Amino acid sequence: MLKRRDSAYVAGRRTGLWYKWKRDPLRADCVMLYAQRGNGKRSSFYSDYTFGCWSEDGRLLPVGKAYSGFTDEELKWLDRFVRTHTVDRFGPVREVEKTLVLEVAFDSVHASTRHKSGIAMRFPRIARIRTDKPAAEADRIETLRAMIA
Protein backbone atom coordinates (compact mmCIF):
# COMPACT_ATOMS: atom_id res chain seq x y z
CA MET A 1 0.00 0.00 0.00
CA LEU A 2 1.34 3.42 -0.93
CA LYS A 3 -0.01 6.55 0.69
CA ARG A 4 0.72 10.21 0.70
CA ARG A 5 2.63 11.26 3.79
CA ASP A 6 0.18 14.10 4.51
CA SER A 7 -2.97 11.98 4.05
CA ALA A 8 -5.22 11.37 7.01
CA TYR A 9 -6.89 8.05 7.69
CA VAL A 10 -10.51 8.31 6.54
CA ALA A 11 -13.24 5.72 6.27
CA GLY A 12 -14.34 4.44 2.88
CA ARG A 13 -12.51 4.32 -0.40
CA ARG A 14 -11.03 7.75 -0.94
CA THR A 15 -9.14 8.13 -4.18
CA GLY A 16 -5.89 10.00 -4.47
CA LEU A 17 -4.73 9.48 -0.89
CA TRP A 18 -3.85 5.79 -0.84
CA TYR A 19 -2.87 3.51 -3.70
CA LYS A 20 -2.80 -0.27 -3.68
CA TRP A 21 0.21 -1.26 -5.74
CA LYS A 22 0.05 -4.79 -7.11
CA ARG A 23 2.88 -6.72 -8.67
CA ASP A 24 2.30 -8.48 -11.97
CA PRO A 25 0.78 -11.86 -11.17
CA LEU A 26 2.53 -15.17 -11.61
CA ARG A 27 0.90 -17.51 -14.14
CA ALA A 28 0.54 -21.23 -14.69
CA ASP A 29 -1.41 -23.44 -17.07
CA CYS A 30 -3.54 -25.84 -15.03
CA VAL A 31 -6.12 -28.51 -15.85
CA MET A 32 -9.69 -28.20 -14.56
CA LEU A 33 -10.48 -31.12 -12.23
CA TYR A 34 -13.74 -30.26 -10.44
CA ALA A 35 -16.50 -27.67 -10.51
CA GLN A 36 -19.18 -26.48 -8.09
CA ARG A 37 -22.08 -24.09 -8.40
CA GLY A 38 -21.46 -20.54 -7.29
CA ASN A 39 -23.35 -18.40 -4.79
CA GLY A 40 -25.79 -15.52 -5.24
CA LYS A 41 -26.30 -14.52 -8.86
CA ARG A 42 -24.02 -17.40 -9.91
CA SER A 43 -25.98 -20.08 -8.06
CA SER A 44 -27.31 -21.57 -11.31
CA PHE A 45 -23.83 -21.75 -12.90
CA TYR A 46 -20.83 -23.96 -12.26
CA SER A 47 -18.42 -21.13 -11.50
CA ASP A 48 -16.07 -22.46 -8.78
CA TYR A 49 -13.23 -24.45 -10.32
CA THR A 50 -10.61 -26.69 -8.75
CA PHE A 51 -7.57 -27.17 -10.96
CA GLY A 52 -4.33 -29.08 -10.85
CA CYS A 53 -0.89 -29.63 -12.33
CA TRP A 54 1.04 -32.74 -13.30
CA SER A 55 3.03 -34.57 -10.63
CA GLU A 56 6.32 -36.38 -11.19
CA ASP A 57 4.47 -39.70 -11.49
CA GLY A 58 2.05 -38.38 -14.14
CA ARG A 59 -0.99 -37.68 -11.95
CA LEU A 60 -2.98 -34.45 -11.86
CA LEU A 61 -2.94 -33.10 -8.31
CA PRO A 62 -4.97 -30.10 -7.09
CA VAL A 63 -3.08 -26.84 -6.51
CA GLY A 64 -5.92 -24.33 -6.13
CA LYS A 65 -9.49 -23.19 -6.60
CA ALA A 66 -10.71 -20.05 -8.38
CA TYR A 67 -14.03 -18.25 -8.55
CA SER A 68 -13.16 -15.18 -10.63
CA GLY A 69 -11.28 -13.67 -13.52
CA PHE A 70 -13.63 -14.62 -16.34
CA THR A 71 -16.29 -12.67 -18.22
CA ASP A 72 -20.00 -13.51 -18.19
CA GLU A 73 -19.65 -15.06 -21.66
CA GLU A 74 -16.72 -17.18 -20.50
CA LEU A 75 -18.76 -18.22 -17.45
CA LYS A 76 -21.55 -19.50 -19.73
CA TRP A 77 -19.00 -21.37 -21.85
CA LEU A 78 -17.34 -22.92 -18.78
CA ASP A 79 -20.73 -23.90 -17.31
CA ARG A 80 -21.66 -25.64 -20.56
CA PHE A 81 -18.27 -27.41 -20.57
CA VAL A 82 -18.83 -28.71 -17.03
CA ARG A 83 -22.34 -29.93 -17.81
CA THR A 84 -21.30 -31.76 -20.98
CA HIS A 85 -18.00 -33.18 -19.71
CA THR A 86 -18.96 -34.44 -16.23
CA VAL A 87 -17.57 -37.90 -15.48
CA ASP A 88 -18.60 -38.23 -11.80
CA ARG A 89 -20.51 -36.44 -9.04
CA PHE A 90 -19.78 -36.11 -5.32
CA GLY A 91 -22.70 -34.25 -3.77
CA PRO A 92 -22.51 -30.69 -5.16
CA VAL A 93 -19.12 -31.31 -6.82
CA ARG A 94 -18.76 -32.44 -10.41
CA GLU A 95 -15.61 -34.12 -11.63
CA VAL A 96 -14.91 -33.25 -15.26
CA GLU A 97 -12.87 -34.81 -18.06
CA LYS A 98 -9.25 -33.74 -17.63
CA THR A 99 -9.08 -31.96 -21.00
CA LEU A 100 -9.54 -28.23 -20.33
CA VAL A 101 -6.50 -26.06 -19.62
CA LEU A 102 -6.96 -22.80 -17.71
CA GLU A 103 -4.29 -20.14 -17.45
CA VAL A 104 -4.35 -19.19 -13.79
CA ALA A 105 -2.95 -15.91 -12.48
CA PHE A 106 -1.96 -15.81 -8.80
CA ASP A 107 0.03 -13.75 -6.32
CA SER A 108 2.31 -16.42 -4.84
CA VAL A 109 2.71 -20.11 -4.07
CA HIS A 110 3.04 -21.60 -0.59
CA ALA A 111 3.61 -25.02 0.91
CA SER A 112 0.29 -26.59 1.91
CA THR A 113 -0.82 -29.59 3.92
CA ARG A 114 -4.39 -29.28 2.59
CA HIS A 115 -3.64 -30.13 -1.05
CA LYS A 116 -2.28 -33.51 -2.14
CA SER A 117 0.26 -31.63 -4.25
CA GLY A 118 1.80 -30.06 -1.14
CA ILE A 119 1.41 -26.54 -2.54
CA ALA A 120 -1.32 -23.92 -2.84
CA MET A 121 -1.73 -20.72 -4.84
CA ARG A 122 -2.52 -17.44 -3.11
CA PHE A 123 -5.39 -15.45 -4.68
CA PRO A 124 -5.80 -17.51 -7.88
CA ARG A 125 -8.06 -16.27 -10.69
CA ILE A 126 -8.77 -17.52 -14.18
CA ALA A 127 -6.77 -15.38 -16.62
CA ARG A 128 -7.60 -17.24 -19.82
CA ILE A 129 -9.24 -20.39 -21.13
CA ARG A 130 -6.59 -22.29 -23.11
CA THR A 131 -8.59 -24.21 -25.74
CA ASP A 132 -5.42 -24.06 -27.86
CA LYS A 133 -3.39 -26.18 -25.42
CA PRO A 134 -3.81 -29.90 -24.71
CA ALA A 135 -3.97 -31.00 -21.07
CA ALA A 136 -0.74 -32.99 -21.43
CA GLU A 137 1.12 -29.68 -21.91
CA ALA A 138 -0.15 -28.08 -18.68
CA ASP A 139 2.44 -27.06 -16.09
CA ARG A 140 4.12 -29.42 -13.68
CA ILE A 141 4.05 -29.17 -9.91
CA GLU A 142 7.83 -28.78 -9.90
CA THR A 143 7.39 -25.53 -11.85
CA LEU A 144 5.09 -24.17 -9.14
CA ARG A 145 7.26 -25.52 -6.34
CA ALA A 146 10.17 -23.46 -7.74
CA MET A 147 8.02 -20.32 -7.24
CA ILE A 148 7.61 -20.81 -3.47
CA ALA A 149 8.90 -17.67 -1.80
Overall CATH class of domain 24-145: mainly beta
Going by C-alpha positions, the residue among 56, 61, 57 that lies closest to residue 142 is 56
- pTM of the predicted structure, to 2 decimals: 0.85
The pLDDT value given to residue 12: 66
Report the distance separating Cα 147 and Cα 134, nearest Å: 23
**For every one of its 149 residues, what pLDDT tens digit does the chain have, with 9 covering 90 and above?**
677 777 777 776 666 677 676 778 999 999 999 999 989 888 899 999 999 999 999 999 999 999 999 999 999 999 999 999 999 999 999 999 999 999 999 999 999 888 889 999 999 999 999 999 999 999 999 999 999 86
**Cα-based distances in Å from 149 to 27, 109, 120:** 15, 7, 12
The pLDDT value given to residue 149: 67
What are the domain boundaries of the chain?
24-145
Going by C-alpha positions, the residue among 124, 122, 126, 121 that lies closest to residue 144 is 121
The pLDDT value given to residue 141: 95
